[in-house]
Amino acid sequence: MRSLNTPKILIIEDHHATLEAIKMIFEFEGYTVLGLTSTIDLHSEVANFAPDVILIDVLLNTTDGRSICTELKLSVHAAIPILLMSSRNGFQHKSYYKAHWDDYIEKPFEMETIIQRVKMLMRPEKH
């Protein structure tokens, strides 16, 4: 972990049961978790919560999660790693990947897999 503080994860998922399941996984692992079912006031939510990692579902009710990734990466929140989640196999285009989100995971995923992906995103970059 980057610091002695409890790591924070922001999850944007409009399916309530899925959101609660992912929250439980990370809360059990000792993370502080904020779950959002919409992107209303997203920038203020991100600024106030200051997450270490953001998890975003691709298919949200009112928008495409990929556009949210792009919006965040072009804002003051660009340094926050993003894990994009989707049940749509093979949708991502390599031209977007890494430029607009940092990692991608397909649903359904194993609990240990998503935990490891988040841990990898939280590691400081070695230059």
Domain ranges of the chain: 8-122
For residue range 75-106, what is the model confidence (pLDDT) as tens digits?
999 999 999 998 765 555 554 555 688 988 88
pTM: 0.87
Contacts of 21 (CB under 8 A, 6+ apart): none
More confident residue, 31 or 5: 31
Angstrom distance (rounded) from CA 105 to CA 125: 20
- Answer whether 58's CB lies under 8 Å from 86's CB: yes
Domain range 8-122, its CATH number among 3.40.50.300, 3.40.50.2300, 3.30.470.10, 2.40.50.100: 3.40.50.2300
Q: What is the pLDDT of residues 11-35, one digit of tens each?
A: 999 999 999 999 999 999 999 999 9
What CA–CA distances, in Å, run from 108 to 7, 8, 18, 45?
A: 24, 23, 10, 27
